[in-house]
Amino acid sequence: MTKKNLVKSATTVPKLPMHIADPAPLGLIGLAVAALVLASTDLGLVSSEAKSLMIPWVLFFGATAQLIAGMAEFKRNNIFGATVFTTYSMTMYAIALTLVITIFTGVDFSIAHYGFGLIAILIFSVIATAASLMTNKMLFIILIFVDLAVLALIPHYFYAITALPAGIFLLCTSVSSFYTALAILLNNMAGKAILPLGKSIWNP
């Protein structure tokens, strides 16, 4: 072996395969926490005048936790998880920024903009729901609740209709997301199915 090869051999670090843990529990917990906080206002459990207190929970859990999960899913080549978590994280960032603008800046903000944004998110959510038919029943259920929550919020922001139905669907989103996160976490750690997630509905 030549001197050049000896130096190369001594300084080269072998590339080991990268194993990334399943980020779905993190993303689901982020969604669950944010949905619960948002639901608390829509259900009238807390004062609607203190909406600024929702911002940290929406920002760190709903937005950032799902963004981290989405980036990890891209690394794992999971196009479904990557697209859904990342898109919903951006939605939560938009909600948090909307709250900041309307609460702290005093800008005359037309809430109809928010309504049209929700229409766009509903379109994406329906697409994601269709794709979730190929994953498992719990993810499908979560996305159905998200669809219904967004659908209920659109007339609330356009026509000032009560947000109570949206709060109920957000609460259902939170509960089902917590369960799914727990199931994935326990099933991964045990190496077997402890809590059921349900088989895929559609197997093309």
176-196 per-position pLDDT tens digit: 999 999 999 999 999 999 999
Structure tokens at 41: 């206002």
Overall number of domains in the chain? 1
Q: How far apart are CA 54 and CA 45, in angstroms?
A: 13
Per the domain annotation, does 196 fall within a domain? no
Examine residue 197 and state whether it is found in any structural domain, yes or no. no
Report yes or no on whether pTM surpasses 0.85: yes
Amino acid at 124: F
177-198: string of b/e by CB count within 10 Å (b at 16+)? bbbbbbbbbebeeeeeeeeebe
Task: Answer yes or no: is 148 within a domain.
Answer: yes
Residue 155 forms part of a structural domain:
yes
Question: Does residue 143 sit within a domain?
Answer: yes
Domain residues for the domain of 46 are 22-190
Tell which residue, 101, 12, 10, has the closest CA to residue 55.
Answer: 101
The overall average pLDDT reported for the chain is: 90
Any domain includes 52: yes
124 versus 102: the higher-pLDDT residue is: 124
* Rounded distance between C-alpha atoms, residue 151 and residue 169, angstroms: 10
Q: Is the pLDDT of residue 15 over 80?
A: no
